[in-house]
Amino acid sequence: MASNTTKEVLIDLSPIIKVYKDGTVERLMGTPNVPPSPEDPATGVASKDIVISTEVRARLYLPKLTDPNQKLPVLIYYHGGGFVIESPYCLFFNRLTHILAAEAKALIISVQYRLAPEHLLPIAYEDSWTALQWVASHVIANASIEKDPWVTKHGDFDKLYIGGDSAGANIAHNIVLRAGVEPLPGDVCLAENDAFMPIGILYIETVKKSGSNGVVQPGADPASENHLPFSRLQPTKIMNTVMASNTTKEVLIDLSPIIKVYKDGTVERLMGTPNVPPSPEDPATGVASKDIVISTEVRARLYLPKLTDPNQKLPVLIYYHGGGFVIESPYCLFFNRLTHILAAEAKALIISVQYRLAPEHLLPIAYEDSWTALQWVASHVIANASIEKDPWVTKHGDFGKLYIGGDSAGANIAHNIVLRAGVEPLPGDVKILGLFLSCPYFWGSKPVGSQSKEDMTAPGGIDNPMINPMAKDAPSLSGLACSRLLVCLAEKDAFTPIGFLYAETVKKIGWSGEVQLVVVDGEDHCFHVFDPHTEKAKDLIKQLASFIS
């Protein structure tokens, strides 16, 4: 983070993006994101955000129906932006797809593929192919995907189209080529004064001469504006400029064995477990899980235990995963396994939040994403809330038993979120009942107990109150906005001395709530995450479950 003070530029592709030597990317061009809408006032089109896979998302657009069972053409749409900016959620492309859905009377799936330079090509193509596979899988009765009801009920798969603008058109071409023997219409749309128009016309003429049995329809608007200045971002320039540094891979920041940040702006995560998909019924626990979109930046995985009553109300736990703010997610093997077990043991509905990771998204972004997730959950109590409510949360969430918790960096986040809830009321005046912190990631400039003096940095210094809750300028722990606190520590964990001090400080300041402290002998940091099946791990998980239920 210290390199932000100088912000040395590694790659300058103004006026579109800059890549800095600290690994961050500044997008200079692009329109703001806008939320989906149950009914767009200009077009009458409904839109919603969905999760396709752990890496791929989309915004769906459904025009007004003349029949509740009406079948519609399906368009898989890829947005433009030179592979480096914009998304389905941005003002320009969201507006376009609303209008197109209304005019065409079509169901549109606008795909959010990952952007360069954080995710170098061909990742955008792979994400886009994943989206097409997901859509096509809706025709299979027992497909191993979570089907979307709009696609299932209204999609006419005899009228499946692929399309895109600018870089999205490039993706669409490559996707249809990859589809191979699946005959898809080849509509190519061009902007008349576009720098890419000559190669577009050559493309059309080449398709015609190839003997393709499809219909080719070039389109150009005589009144069109010039294309945005993406000629600077030609595919060869992206591949050569951004990827050239891969040949040397000079390291800017080396935090082995966890991550490395390279001077080309890329980040290599050396540690972490693979992502695993959600399951309608986990064979080990019977817990159902699914992935959801909370906002354009924030996602989550939800866990619902087996119910004894179809209308059963359950405690709600908003859970923040660990990983030092830089690795892991709700979808990774370790935390997905833990939350399945905890949901089953506690008989609780768990929302495991996918906040954005550093160094691509520097702190305090993780805290802001986590706060957004809490606000979204709390908004379910408001009848006319302007969110897309989740049926599991609406039907089964008991908001009289709302808990916040996390492990390691996630425990740090949980602490900060509950403090913030003390000064910023939650939607619907929802109250947090309890907070659990497991092996919390706290540190300070002065070693506590047996802690070593590490050369750590944070914005404003390592005694930033978000990292050191006992710092001189930290808000009082009496402001924790809950009535129950459980702090779980492991004897051999380097973070235990300051975690112990945290629990003792809360007790001494006269906080009105109930404080529980658990220290597990002979164990190290987050031992129950790495192997939840040891006897001590089982005991700790049972204590967490008992606290929640």
Backbone angles phi, psi at 86, to 5 degrees: 75, 175
d(CA 405, CA 158): 47
153 to 138, 139, 192: CA distances (angstroms): 10, 11, 38
Tell me, what DSSP letter sits at residue 113? P
Q: Any idea which residue has 């795909």 for tokens?
A: 111
d(CA 529, CA 541): 10
d(CA 329, CA 316): 19
Residue 100 Cα to chain centre, angstroms: 27
Q: Residue 349, Cβ neighbours under 10 Å: how many?
A: 26
What contacts 346, CB < 8 A, 6 or more positions away? 305, 315, 317, 544, 545, 546, 548, 549
Which region holds residue 86: left if phi is over 0, alpha if psi is between -120 and 50, else beta?
Answer: left
| Intervals of CATH 3.40.50.1820 along the chain | 30-227, 290-548
Active-site residue numbers? 408, 493
* Identity at 303, one-letter amino acid code: Y
Q: Residue 159, Cβ neighbours under 10 Å: how many?
A: 14
User: In this predicted structure, what is the pLDDT of residue 209?
Assistant: 64
DSSP 135-164: HHGGGSTT-SS---HHHHHHEEEEEEEEEE
Q: Which CATH number fits domain 290-548: 3.40.50.720, 3.40.50.300, 3.40.50.1820, 3.40.50.150?
A: 3.40.50.1820
User: In this predicted structure, what is the pLDDT of residue 3?
Assistant: 41
Residue 114 Cα to chain centre, angstroms: 11
CB 253 within 8 A of CB 188: no
pLDDT in tens, the chain (549 residues): 444 446 788 888 888 888 888 888 889 888 888 899 999 989 999 999 999 998 999 999 999 999 999 999 999 999 999 999 999 999 889 999 999 999 999 999 999 999 999 999 999 999 999 999 899 999 888 877 889 999 999 999 889 899 999 999 999 999 888 887 554 433 333 344 555 555 555 555 666 666 666 666 655 444 444 555 555 455 444 444 444 444 467 888 888 888 999 888 889 898 888 888 899 999 999 999 999 999 989 999 999 999 999 999 999 999 999 999 999 999 999 999 999 999 999 999 999 999 999 999 999 999 999 999 999 999 999 998 888 999 999 999 999 999 999 999 999 999 999 999 999 999 999 999 999 999 999 988 877 776 665 555 555 567 889 999 999 889 999 999 999 999 999 999 999 999 999 999 999 998 999 999 999 999 999 999 999 999 999 999 999 999 998
User: In this predicted structure, what is the pLDDT of residue 217?
Assistant: 61
DSSP 470-516: TSTTSPPGGG--SSEEEEEEETT-TTHHHHHHHHHHHHHTT-SSEEE
d(CA 182, CA 150): 23
d(CA 304, CA 340): 9
Helix-strand-coil percent breakdown of the chain, rounded to 5? 30, 20, 45
d(CA 352, CA 318): 6
Backbone angles phi, psi at 275, to 5 degrees: -75, 145
Q: CA Rg, the chain, in Å? A: 25
Domain 30-227, architecture per CATH = 3-Layer(aba) Sandwich (3.40)
Q: Is 273 helix (H, G, I), strand (E, B) or coil?
A: coil
